Amino acid sequence: MTATVKLVSLAVAVPDNIILQTDAAETASRLFSDRFQDFKYLARVFESTGIRKRHVARPLSWFEEPHGWEDRMTAYTEVATELFQRAATKALQRAGVEAHQVDCIVTVSSTGLATPSLEARLAGKMGFRRDIERVPIFGLGCAAGVSGLAIATKLAKSRPGAIVLFVAIELCSLAFRLDELTRPNIIATALFGDGGAACVLRAGESGIVEIESTGEHLFPDSLGIMGWKIDDTGFGIILEQSLPVFAEAHLRSAVAGILDRAGLSLSDIDRFICHPGGAKVLAALESALHLDEGSLDIEREVIGDYGNMSSPTVLFVLERAIAAGLPQRSALLALGPGFSASCITLKRVA
């Protein structure tokens, strides 16, 4: 009998700098209102997102100055390694595991570049073994909290007893651009925050919840919905206004297909645990999945407290859902560039 993979522990971490949404709105107005004709119209997004505050890599004043690749990636390397260590250390402690016992680390991040990768930079400080396997993954965006966890699950399943550490780190705020007078950039100033999360996985052991199945769906001809454009200054956000409409129209059939391949159906899911991409996206998810309005309550709490942190956000939701008590079967769901949907089903451990 194949050993099942368990989520043994989960921990999250955020930078110390906090931006209140009211302060973000005032700063954005000061920086953009005289230079962007439609700013007054777009400024309503600061209230409509439902975000109260966000944690960011640098103080608010840092974002009022121009920055290039060197500044951004220096900040990324510094803060991302700090968040990695904090989240991973806490997850290992909660699992009762020492760093030297970890056999494999899967790290996802799409908001910065570091070579050597984050886990290599921390190997000596944290005490990882010399023979540890490292799997750093870039480019999965918001979906990586689920798709990266799926990859870590497959690695754990292939070697029962091995300890796999999964870490998601994103510093979305470092992509803020003073020079980008575009609708997506203005919305990004109102929506994105920074954070990290870590999970310990193991097959054949007890844990919080069983990872039952994993699946992906890549939508054809959808590359322009979400992603990065890259130039001399840094990352520039690609975010189509049609995203909520697209999700409402196409997500249900995609998720149904993923579940069907696992021998399940939508009716088998007692609770969807979703990446909260934004208020409109959450409403679209509820509509697409035929959920009652307001069902994704924990998702709204998380985005209110942290904003959209990209990949780790869904793990922040999962942490609160676990604390509240999971039903018999849940589905972890996130959307990301590609355009893609990632889904993991979770079974409560008796």
Beta bridge partners of 343: 215, 333
pLDDT number for residue 107:
97
Q: What string of pLDDT tens digits covers the 350 residues of the chain?
A: 567 999 999 999 999 999 999 999 888 888 887 787 777 777 788 888 889 999 999 999 999 899 989 999 999 999 999 999 999 999 999 999 999 999 999 999 999 999 999 999 999 999 999 999 999 999 999 999 999 999 999 999 998 889 999 999 999 999 998 887 778 788 888 889 999 999 999 998 789 999 999 999 998 887 777 777 888 787 877 777 677 888 888 889 999 999 999 999 999 999 999 999 888 889 999 999 999 998 999 999 999 999 999 999 999 999 999 999 999 999 999 998 888 899 999 999 87
User: Is the separation of the CB atoms in 87 and 179 below 8 Å?
Assistant: no
pLDDT number for residue 274:
95
Q: Cα angle at 258 between 257 and 260, to 5 degrees?
A: 60
Q: What CA–CA distances, in Å, run from 156 to 100, 103, 143, 302, 323?
A: 16, 9, 20, 28, 24
CA–CA dist 3, 263 (Å, integer): 18
Question: Measured in whole angstroms, how far is the alpha carbon of residue 71 from the centre of its chain?
Answer: 23
pLDDT number for residue 296:
94
CA–CA dist 197, 310 (Å, integer): 11
CA–CA dist 111, 310 (Å, integer): 9
User: Is the separation of the CB atoms in 76 and 114 below 8 Å?
Assistant: yes
CA–CA dist 162, 102 (Å, integer): 7
- 142, 172, 199, 274: the catalytic one is 142
Q: What is the pTM of this model?
A: 0.94
pLDDT number for residue 32:
82
User: Is the separation of the CB atoms in 182 and 162 below 8 Å?
Assistant: no
Task: Spell out the domains of the chain, with CATH numbers in brackets.
Answer: 5-203 (3.40.47.10), 209-348 (3.40.47.10)
Question: What residues contact residue 245 under an 8 Å CB cut-off, 6+ apart?
Answer: 284
Look up residue 292 and give its two tokens.
């009652």
CA–CA dist 229, 182 (Å, integer): 13
- Where do runs of H (alpha helix) occur along the chain? 21-32, 39-42, 45-48, 69-95, 118-126, 144-158, 183-191, 243-261, 279-288, 297-306, 313-324
> Could you tell me what percentage of the chain is helix, strand and coil, using 3-state DSSP and rounding each to the nearest 5?
45, 25, 30
DSSP, collapsed to helix, strand or coil, labels residue 179 as coil
Beta bridge partners of 215: 343
Q: Would residue 199 show up in a list of annotated catalytic residues for this protein?
A: no
CA dihedral sign of residues 214, 220, 222, 223: positive
pLDDT number for residue 325:
93
pLDDT number for residue 2:
65
In which residue are the tokens 């005490």 written? 127
Radius of gyration of the chain (CA): 19
Q: Quick one: CA torsion of 315, 319, 321, 322, rounded to 10 degrees? A: 130
CA–CA dist 222, 281 (Å, integer): 17
Look up residue 150 and give its two tokens.
């799926």
